[in-house]
C-alpha cells in the first residue's frame, strides 16, 4: 500500500511540454490530504479490528469456561441428587428395620403382659376359691356354734 510519505516524496520526470507544475502540485496536495485521512482511518480501523478480535477471543474463552463450569455444576448437582436419594433410601430402610424391631419388641411385651394377666387371673381365681372355701369353713364353724 502506498503511504502518505510515498506520495509526498514522489517526483516526476520533467518533460518539455509537460503539465503545469503548480497545478499538479496543488492537485497532489489535495490527494495527499485525502489519502492521509483515509490512511489514518484505515490504521485506526485495523487497530480497532485487532482489539475487537482479541476481545472476541477472550469472550469466546470465557464462554467455553462458562460452558465447562455449567457442565461441572450440572454433573455435581446430579451426583448430589443421586447421593441424597441413596441416603434417603438407606434412611428409610433403616427406619423400617428399626420400626420392625420396635413392633417385635412391643409384641413381645404384649405377650409377657398377657401371660402376666393370665397368671394373675389364675392366682385370683385360686385366691377367690380359697377365700370362699375359708369363708364356707368359717360359716360352718359359726353354724356349729349356733347349733350347740
Q: What is the pLDDT along the chain (148 residues), one digit of tens a residue?
A: 677 787 778 777 777 777 777 888 888 888 888 888 998 999 999 999 999 999 999 999 999 999 999 999 999 999 999 999 999 999 999 999 999 999 999 999 999 999 999 999 999 999 999 999 999 998 888 888 877 7
Domain boundaries, the chain: 4-147
Asked whether the beta carbons of 16 and 48 are under 8 A apart, the reply is no
Q: Locate 17 and state its grid cell.
A: 511540454
Model confidence over 62-85: pLDDT tens digits? 999 999 999 999 999 999 999 999
Q: Locate 41 and state its grid cell.
A: 482511518
Give 31's contacts (C-beta < 8 A, 6+ positions apart). 7
Measured in whole angstroms, the distance separating CA 70 from the mean position of its chain's CA atoms is 10
Query: What is the sign, positive or negative, of the torsion defined by CA atoms of 69, 73, 76, 82?
Result: negative
d(CA 91, CA 89) in angstroms, rounded, equals 5
Asked whether the beta carbons of 14 and 45 are under 8 A apart, the reply is no
Give 39's contacts (C-beta < 8 A, 6+ positions apart). 1, 3, 4
Amino acid at each position: 500500500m502506498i503511504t502518505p510519505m510515498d506520495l509526498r516524496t514522489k517526483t516526476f520526470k520533467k518533460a518539455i511540454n509537460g503539465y503545469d507544475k503548480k497545478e499538479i502540485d496543488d492537485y497532489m496536495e489535495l490527494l495527499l490530504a485525502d489519502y492521509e485521512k483515509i490512511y489514518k482511518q484505515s490504521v485506526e480501523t485495523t487497530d480497532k479490528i485487532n482489539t475487537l478480535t482479541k476481545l472476541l477471543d477472550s469472550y469466546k474463552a470465557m464462554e467455553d469456561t462458562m460452558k465447562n463450569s455449567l457442565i461441572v455444576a450440572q454433573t455435581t448437582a446430579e451426583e448430589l441428587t443421586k447421593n441424597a436419594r441413596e441416603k434417603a433410601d438407606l434412611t428409610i430402610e433403616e427406619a423400617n428395620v428399626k420400626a420392625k424391631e420396635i413392633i417385635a419388641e412391643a409384641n413381645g411385651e404384649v405377650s409377657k403382659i398377657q401371660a402376666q394377666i393370665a397368671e394373675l387371673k389364675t392366682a385370683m381365681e385360686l385366691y377367690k376359691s380359697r377365700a370362699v372355701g375359708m369363708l364356707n369353713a368359717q360359716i360352718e364353724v359359726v353354724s356349729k356354734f349356733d347349733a350347740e
